[in-house]
Amino acid sequence: MDPVRTVPLESDGRDIDTAVAVLSGEASGQLAETHAQLAGIPEAFRKNPPATYYGQPLLKQSVWSIDIPLYYFTGGAAGAAMVLGAAIQAGSCGARADCDLRRLSVTCHWMGIVGSTMGAAFLIHDLGRPARFLHMMRVFRPTSPMNMGAWILAGAAPTAIVTGLFINRPGVLGWIGEAAGYASGFWGAGLSCYTGVLVAGSAIPVWQEARRWMPVLFAASAATTAASILDLFYEGREARRITRVFGTVGRCIELAAGGRVEQSASRVRRVGRPFRRGATGVLWKAAGVLTAASLVLSLLPDRSRRTQRIAGVLGAAGSLAMRFAVHYITNASARDPRASFDLQRSA
Amino acid sequence: MRRSARPLSGRGGGACRNSGRDRTSAFCYAVGWTQHTTGVQYIRTAAIIQLLLGNIGRPGGGIMALRGHASIQGSTDIPTLYNLLPGYLPMPRAGYDKDLAAYNDSHAEKSGWWGEFPKYSVSLLKAWYGAAAHSGNGYCFDYLPAMTGDHSHLSWVADMADGKLKGYFVMSENPVVGTAYGGLHRKGLRRLEWLVVRDLNLIETADFWRAAPEIERGEIRPEDIPTGVFFFPAAAHTEKDGSFTNTQRLLQWHHKAIDPPGDCRSELDFIFQLGRRLKELYAGSTAGKDRPLLDMTWDYRLSGPREEVDAESVLHEINGYAVSDRHPINGFVDLKDDGSTACGCWIYCGSYKDGVNQTARRKPHWEQNWVASEWAWSWPHNRRILYNRASADPEGRPWSERKAYVWWDEQQQKWTGHDEPDFVEKPPSYRPPPGARGKEAISGVDPFVIQTDGKGWIFAPKGLHDAPLPTHYEPQESVIRNPLYPQQCNPLRMEWRRKDNPYHQPFDDPRFPHVLTTYRVTEHHTAGGMSRWLSWLSELQPEAFCEISPELAEQVGLKNGGWATIRSARAEIEARVLVTNRIRSLKINGRTIHQIGMPYHWAGNGLVRGDSANELMSFVADPNVSIMETKALTVDIEPGRRLRRISGRPRIPQLPGREEDRDLPRARQRKGSSWEYELEQGKEGH
Amino acid sequence: MEALLSAAQAHSLETRAARDDTRNTSARKGFFTDTTLCIGCKACEVACKQWNQLPDDGFRFTAMSYDNTVALGASTWRHVSFIERPLDLGGQEAGGFSWLFNSDVCKHCARAGCLESCPTGAIIRTEFDTVYVQPDVCNGCGYCVINCPFGVIDRRPDDGRAWKCTLCYDRLKENMEPACAKACPTDSIKFGDLEDLRRVARKRVAQLHDRGMTEAYLYGVDSANQPGTEGLNAFFLLADKPEVYNLPPDPVVPTKKVKDAWISFAFAAAGLAIAALGSVFAERSVR
């Protein structure tokens, strides 16, 4: 029997190890709730306010450059565009049916190509050893969101390319293009929001409690971006109706999810600091403001081209700002040892 | 003094509680204890306490100096000291030790192991002068240099500063950083004709002519310095064979692992080559003054493509051999005073016993008893604890089973035990007959065999220059009057009264209200020549810093992590500030005295650089061993970096020195003492 | 004779005997770092740097007691923390002061955040149950850096790859103990089989409690003690809150919590598809 006087993980307050002792005392039948304790750490330390080591960070900041938020942006937009493209194929019996929608679908798929290849370029450029980018394909590791993301990107980019190249062709190539189009929709859905899992699946304290909302935030933001970019460059009425619905849904959910992210991250007040303070706070709020402004503008009865374009700019800017905010908030949270300590003590 | 007051009060309590039949206590002191004008008396204090507690000569007892060099004990055994010959034979004194007979007579004791003194001195001379030394010429005793006065380190540096020395060999030391008052050292170096430095790196002593504080300040220009400087790169300890002698008298051999790179050579090779070339240079000379060089035996075995000296052949000479067949001698009891034995160092006799390098033995501790006598070799005679007779009671039984070390075996009629006993066949009941001499004069119950009466001396009638019993004196520069006596400082301390060695007032100097002490940190080694050139050590402690209490920080306006300038009459230095509760202010007679602690490792060359703490010190020393007082002085401190001015003189107001406050009138009259350096008119230092 | 053997001597005999069993390579290896024995000498830092031939991390005075190393990183795999406290350790009378030291190191967690998040498979579990980064595979994606709950692993911008303590994998393969354990003069860093280390550690805590140091406890000794990582192969004996040593009080390997995010991802992706389809069919219905 272990003579060590550490506090057990779960205790009903009896200090009796039921593996070797029998509960037969008078009060042994008394019900007492078990409560998980901070395993092994002496009682005296639980109540005192946490110290830090000279204010030094506990965690390491991410080594990622702006390549990564740019990747969130372009990859997200690409993914959502591919989904939209596939949806248009489905809803309009393929690209052949209607001129306008067909072009929209093709545009979506080309956004997918451009966005995913640009995204891949950003990612490869950000690697410490870019020449080794193919090492991502050495393993298939479901525990790693980054590995899964590498496979998703590896699926998305080629299917997008095949779709873009073949979807208009007659004959077999065209059928291949069609099939690829649906496939890219599938991959694109993954591409648009796996990065939310990537961020939430880290040890950074600010995202721990918000992990359920991050993929939603990213997916919605991806939709916003795709719709905004289409709004910027696309004219047709039918197309506009689609992008407007798609964009509105995206913006609304982006705002709601963003709010939920901030709220759940701030359950422990210190953890939510980067949303409220400093440059990161400004950037995060700006993102919300831009997205809200974009939403309002896009819902105005005024359907002028100029309004549409401005709404598009605002939407894209808001989405871009959100991605950068996430990037900088990650590092601000990593730098703050109290965020980790307070969060872990709050459980 | 505050450090040694503790053993008498708080700390000593622990030693008292932990001493007796079943338990012993040891004093382990860092070498800073010695660097005071009363340094030797501090060690004496510890020795007296240990004698009273019965902690000498018993396992777990004794006094251990935690010293900073791998072979520091060896540096006095085979000495680098001016006043000793190997094995602690005194250097002859001019005018007193006129010949070998006079020398032996004045130093041989009537009793104890020093009674055999002539055997050691003659054997040494035979080792050095070989066939040329015989009984007819006093074994070439007059070849040995003789002291004409105080030739200690600080004294001849002062002489150097007065232009009295031509040349200087500096080997594996960095005196302008490691010794007190680098400024005065460098002044001396500038007056030399030539300087030879041997080291692993380009230490500050070798670079004084172009990288020094006074050159940085623009006071001195390199082109005005006439000294010729020669720098020889040295081999590291892994690149040469040889031995270390640790503080507990243990000789351990270290083996060469790789060849030194390029032109790097060991000291052994350098000295051998130097001697060889000097012999060649003076070969054929008929002048009497050259005989010591030409008659010197210099026939060590050479080996390898570079013809390096085989270090074991040197060990053979140090150990001693029979002159007739060069067979190694197994112990100093076999040395003779008739010229038939040669021995480079009598206490090391036995280290090459039977022609086997005993110091290279490496029997692991799990294959022998806990004393581990078969790991390496200790002097004398591989005895691990000296005076181990004291581990048994007067009847020869161990004081307790737990602390049994050596004991008298009645059946076999000899001493036995875990270690080599101090005496083997002398029973506890032995009492010396009247007229007994040498070893026979020591009784069977007197463990301290090197003393003339075999006793431990609580009162020391001779051996120390300043006093037979320790007491308290303030350092040369203090903040308070001596609370015990009107005599402020050690009356026999060594001073150098020179204009370029200004002292602060003895106490209450308004310009220097704080106490400074220096020490080491783990990450660096002494003057930094071996550590501040390595990145892995340098990054652990990159910058010179001082440590102060929060009270002093607040009082003066110093910030943790900021800069401070520390000033004495000798120099002004800057350091980073570390505010810590480990440094406590002293409360003395209602006054608060602040301490500043500073590691002394930094200087101007190397990967990490800083100002050198020892620049602040003056030349003042302990009278017994002339060791500098660097652990207690007064300074001033203020925030900010030091100014880089053209004029280097610290901006301190001139105040009267109040020298007379250090000494009672009686003590002031000690002119003519061989330890006091007197200024001649017109030969002022600065 | 045994009575005269110091505890350190006895233990080194014991450890040596344990070391002879390193030929049994199925045993889990690790460190038990007993901070109450640490003297802050930094021999571990230097031994590690020398053995692995790591570059220096710059020369700057931090004024954080004697800690100028600050933290573990790509080029520092052992880091000694220095904490000066205005209170005594239990059982000691130092006038209201104690100086805590801890030789921090990669924890080689039983569930390692870096390993489970590594997309290239560069980070592996060795036959000694330690966590090792293969420098020829790592492409420097940096994801491990934000997945370590202890802030250990890092990427050097000039090198591009992620690095951390290897638990001297090269030495273990030659039946040698890691450089830091070998250099440690007080045996504060003990290396051996995890089960042996756990046993020694628990005895040590009991011994310290008997002496009056009741605040001593084990950090990460096993899964029950630290469920978030399921135990650390390199665990510690501490004398104050974990935060004081810059250690997290309740670290959790991120992969234990990531399932929620994946489920949310599935819904989000599906939702995106539904939104897209909905937009298309909404448009059709308008037409």
Q: How far is B575 from chain C (nearest CA, A)?
A: 11
User: No. of H helices and E strands in chain A?
Assistant: 12, 2
B522 touches chain C (CB under 8 A): yes
Q: How far, in Å, are B150, B486, B663 from residue B676 at the CA level?
A: 9, 22, 14
Look at phi and psi of residue B376 and say left if phi exceeds 0, alpha if psi is from -120 to 50, else beta: left
Gap between the terminal Cα atoms of chain B: 32
Q: Which two three-digit tokens encode residue B550? A: 């929060």
Give residue B77's pLDDT. 95
Domains and CATH numbers, chain A: 67-304+318-323 (1.20.1630.10)
Give residue B412's pLDDT. 92
Shortest CB distance from B582 goes to which of C13, C59, C84?
Answer: C84
> Is the pLDDT confidence value at A73 over 70?
yes
CB contact under 8 A, C59 and B523: no
Give residue A2's pLDDT. 29
| B80 Cβ neighbours under 8 A, 6+ residues apart | none
> Is the pLDDT confidence value at A169 over 90?
no
Shortest CB distance from C61 goes to which of B523, B576, B580?
Answer: B576
Q: How far is A197 from chain C (nearest CA, A)?
A: 5
Give residue A28's pLDDT. 62
User: No. of H helices and E strands in chain B?
Assistant: 16, 26
CB distance C137 to A138 below 8 Å: yes
Residue pLDDT, tens place only, A202-217: 999 999 999 999 999 9
CB contact under 8 A, C139 and A136: yes
For B579, which DSSP code? E
CB contact under 8 A, B536 and C56: yes
User: No. of H helices and E strands in chain C?
Assistant: 7, 10
- Report how far residue A212's alpha carbon sits from residue A214's, in angstroms, rounded to the nearest whole number: 6
Shortest CB distance from A216 goes to which of C81, C120, C268?
Answer: C268
Which residue in chain C is spatially nearest to B22 when comparing CA positions? C4
Give residue C215's pLDDT. 95
Give residue B31's pLDDT. 84
CB distance C141 to A146 below 8 Å: yes
- Report how far residue B440's alpha carbon sits from residue B469's, in angstroms, rounded to the nearest whole number: 29
- Report how far residue A40's alpha carbon sits from residue A56's, in angstroms, rounded to the nearest whole number: 24
* Residue C282 CB burial class (10 angstroms; 0-12, 13-18, ≥19): middle
Q: Which residues of B313-337 are buried (b: 16+ CB within 10 A; e: fewer)?
A: ebbbbbbbbebeeeebbbebeebbb
Shortest CB distance from A203 goes to which of C146, C157, C250?
Answer: C146
Give residue B463's pLDDT. 82
Give residue A45's pLDDT. 53
**Mean of the pLDDT values across residues C8-31?**
56
Backbone angles phi, psi at C286, to 5 degrees: -75, -35
Beta bridge partners of C232: C109
**Mean of the pLDDT values across residues C165-169?**
96
Helix H or strand E segment including B635? strand B633-639
> Is the pLDDT confidence value at C142 over 90?
yes
Q: How far, in Å, are A22, B332, B371, B420, C8 from residue B374 at the CA level?
A: 58, 19, 9, 12, 21
Q: Which two three-digit tokens encode residue C214? A: 């009741």
| Pairing of the two strands B63-66 and B84-85 | unpaired
B401 touches chain C (CB under 8 A): no
- Report how far residue B570's alpha carbon sits from residue A339's, in angstroms, rounded to the nearest whole number: 52
Q: Which residues of A63-88 are buried (b: 16+ CB within 10 A; e: fewer)?
A: bbeebbbbbbbbbbbbbbbbbbbbbb
Half-sphere exposure for B538 (CA within 13 Å, toward CB): 22
Give residue A102's pLDDT. 78
Give residue B475's pLDDT. 97
Q: How far is B362 from chain C (nearest CA, A)?
A: 17
Q: Which of residues 224-283 of C touch A (CB under 8 A)?
A: 224-227, 240-252, 254-255, 257-258, 260-265, 267-273, 275-283
> Is the pLDDT confidence value at C7 over 60?
no
Please list every residue in chain C whose beta carbon sits closer than 8 Å to the beta carbon of residue B521.
66
Residue pLDDT, tens place only, C60-95: 999 999 999 999 999 999 999 999 998 999 999 888
Please list every residue in chain C whose beta carbon sits closer than 8 Å to the beta carbon of residue A34.
none
Q: What pTM was computed for the model?
A: 0.88
Crossing angle (nearest 10°) for helices A145-166 and C258-286: 30
CB contact under 8 A, A51 and C81: no
> Within 10 A of B28 (CB to CB), how many other CB atoms are there?
12
C87 touches chain B (CB under 8 A): no
Residue that is written with structure tokens 């306008």 in the block: A100
CB distance A225 to A316 below 8 Å: yes
Backbone angles phi, psi at B230, to 5 degrees: -115, 125
Shortest CB distance from C5 goes to which of B370, B538, B607?
Answer: B370
Residues in chain A: 347
B391 touches chain C (CB under 8 A): no
pLDDT > 90: percent of chain A: 66
Q: Which residues of B135-153 are buried (b: 16+ CB within 10 A; e: fewer)?
A: eebbbbbbbbeebeebebb
CB contact under 8 A, C265 and A194: yes
* Residue B10 CB burial class (10 angstroms; 0-12, 13-18, ≥19): exposed
Q: Within its chain, how far is the Cα of B127 from the centroid?
A: 25
> Is the pLDDT confidence value at C191 over 60?
yes
Shortest CB distance from B543 goes to which of C42, C61, C86?
Answer: C61
- Report how far residue B272's alpha carbon sits from residue B364's, in angstroms, rounded to the nearest whole number: 35
CB contact under 8 A, B402 and C41: no
CB contact under 8 A, A212 and C260: yes
* Residue type at position B50: Q
Crossing angle (nearest 10°) for helices A237-265 and A214-233: 150
Alpha-carbon dihedral angle through residues B346, B350, B351, B352, given to the nearest 10 degrees: 110
Backbone angles phi, psi at C146, to 5 degrees: -95, 10
Give residue A98's pLDDT. 59
Residue pLDDT, tens place only, A5-60: 233 334 455 555 566 566 666 666 555 543 333 344 555 554 555 589 999 999 99
CB contact under 8 A, A202 and C147: yes
CB contact under 8 A, A132 and C64: no
Residues of chain B with pLDDT under 50: 1-11, 671-686
Sign of CA dihedral C173, C174, C180, C184: positive
C56 touches chain B (CB under 8 A): yes
Q: Which two three-digit tokens encode residue B597? A: 């602690």
> Is the pLDDT confidence value at A96 over 60?
no
**Chain A interface mutation, best of C75, C82, C87, C141, highest count of A Cβ atoms under 10 Å:** C141
C65 touches chain B (CB under 8 A): yes
Q: Chains contacting A with at least 3 CB pairs below 8 Å?
A: C
CB distance A6 to C205 below 8 Å: yes
- Between chain B and chain C, the number of residue pairs with CB atoms below 8 A apart is 67
CB contact under 8 A, B581 and C49: no
Strands of B242-245's sheet, edge to edge? B242-245, B250-254, B377-378
For B646, which DSSP code? S
> Within 10 A of C3 (CB to CB), how many other CB atoms are there?
6
Residue that is written with structure tokens 């022609």 in the block: B355
Half-sphere exposure for C176 (CA within 13 Å, toward CB): 11
A64 touches chain C (CB under 8 A): yes
Backbone angles phi, psi at A104, to 5 degrees: -60, -45
C-alpha closest to that of A297 among A217, A233, A219, A231 = A231
A214 touches chain C (CB under 8 A): yes
C-alpha closest to that of B600 among B516, B515, B496 = B516
CB distance B331 to B424 below 8 Å: no
**Mean of the pLDDT values across residues A54-72?**
96
Q: How far is B569 from chain C (nearest CA, A)?
A: 28
- Report how far residue A78's alpha carbon sits from residue A195's, in angstroms, rounded to the nearest whole number: 13
**Mean of the pLDDT values across residues C125-136?**
95
Beta bridge partners of C33: C189, C236
Give residue A3's pLDDT. 29
CB distance A202 to C146 below 8 Å: yes
C224 touches chain B (CB under 8 A): no
A63 touches chain C (CB under 8 A): yes
The DSSP string of B489-537 is B-TT-EEB--TTSPPPPSS--TT--EEEEEE--TTS-TTSTTTTT-HHH
* Residue type at position A189: A
CB contact under 8 A, C118 and A147: yes
The DSSP string of B86-126 is GGGEEPPBTTT--SHHHHHHHH--SBSGGGGHHHHHHHHHH
CB contact under 8 A, A54 and C64: yes
Helix H or strand E segment including C16? helix C7-20
Which residue in chain C is spatially nearest to A68 when comparing CA positions? C141
Q: Which of residues 534-563 of B touch C (CB under 8 A)?
A: 535-543, 545, 560-561
